[in-house]
Amino acid sequence: MGSEKVLIFENCRTCSNRCFSTNQVIKEINQLVSEQNLIKKIKSKLPSPILYHHMLRISLSGCPNSCSQPQIKDIGMQAQRIAAVNEELCGGCGECVKSCPDKAIAVDKTAHIDRNKCLNCGLCIKSCPVNAIEELNSGFRVLAGGKLGRRPHLAGTLYSLVGVNELVPIIAELLEVYLVQGEFGEKFGTVINRIGLDNLRKREGEKHAG
Ligand code: SF4
Ligand code: SF4
Ligand code: SF4
C-alpha cells in the first residue's frame, strides 16, 4: 500500500477565498500519512485487497465554504479566521455588510458581528477600506467521523478551533486512536463514531466543540 490509500483532498492553493496559506500544513500532513511505518500499520487493519471504500480520507478546506467536503471525510479540517470590529476605527460605511455571505454583520453607528451567524470566513476583514476589522484568531476547525457509503454520517466537530501548529499532532493522535482501538476491517469513521467525539477530545478550553 502506498499513500494512494490515504486520500488528501485539497483544492484551495490558488483560491482568493482561503483564510490563509495552507501549503505548509498540507505538506506536513502529507509527510505524516506517507510515512511507511504508518501505512504498514493502517494496512494491517484492513482486509486484502484494500478496496476503495476502505481508504482513509483526509480533507482540508481553506475556508468554511468547504469545497473539499471535510464533512464527509474520516478527518476534515476547515480553515477559520475570526474577525472582530475595532469600533474606534469603524466609520459605519457598510462595505463589510456587502462582503458577508452569511448576513452576519449589521451597522448602526459602527459594524457589529452576530457570532451566531458568523462562520469565520474572514472575508469581511479583507473588505474594510480602513482596516477596522481585525483578525482576532485563526486556525482550523477539526471534524472527524464523516462518511458516505451504506450508512452515511456527517462528521462532527472535534475541536472548534486549533492553531496551525497544533494541527498535525492532532491528526497523528487521531490516526493512533484508529490503530490502537480500531478492530480489524473497521473503517476509520466507524471507529471514531463508536468511540464518540466526547471521548476523543484531549485538549481543554475553547478548542472543544461549542
Ligand atoms: S474551500 Fe474556500 S478556499 Fe478552498 S476552494 Fe473552496 S472557496 Fe476556495
Ligand atoms: S467596512 Fe469597515 S468602516 Fe465600513 S462599516 Fe464595516 S468595519 Fe466599519
Ligand atoms: S468572518 Fe465571514 S461570516 Fe463572519 S462576519 Fe465576516 S464575512 Fe461574515
For residue 6, the model assigns a pLDDT of 56
CA proximity to 80, closest of 19, 127, 133: 19
CATH, domain 3-81+137-207, list 3.40.50.880, 3.30.413.10, 3.40.50.1860, 3.40.50.300: 3.30.413.10
Say how far residue 153 (Cα) sits from the centre of its chain.
16
CA of 144 to the centre of ligand 3 (A): 24
CA of 92 to the centre of ligand 2 (A): 5
Nearest alpha carbon, ligand 2 atom 6:
96
DSSP state letter for 63: S
Which regions in the chain score pLDDT beneath 70?
1-10, 203-210
Residue position matching grid coordinates 471525510: 73
| 23: CB partners within 8 A, 6+ apart | 13
CA of 81 to the centre of ligand 3 (A): 9
Which ranges in 153-202 belong to alpha helices (H)? 164-181, 188-195, 197-200
Residue 192, ligand 2, Cβ within 6 A = no
141/47 Cα distance (integer angstroms): 32
160/142 Cα distance (integer angstroms): 6
CATH 3.30.70.20 boundaries in the chain: 83-136
For residue 8, the model assigns a pLDDT of 67
132/122 Cα distance (integer angstroms): 13
For residue 42, the model assigns a pLDDT of 82
Assigned CATH for 83-136? 3.30.70.20
CATH 3.30.413.10 boundaries in the chain: 3-81+137-207
For residue 37, the model assigns a pLDDT of 80
For residue 7, the model assigns a pLDDT of 63
Residue of 78, 103, 124 to mutate, ligand 3, most atoms within 8 A of C-beta: 124
Helix, strand, coil in percent for the chain, rounding step 5: 35, 25, 40
Residue of 119, 133, 136 to mutate, ligand 3, most atoms within 8 A of C-beta: 119
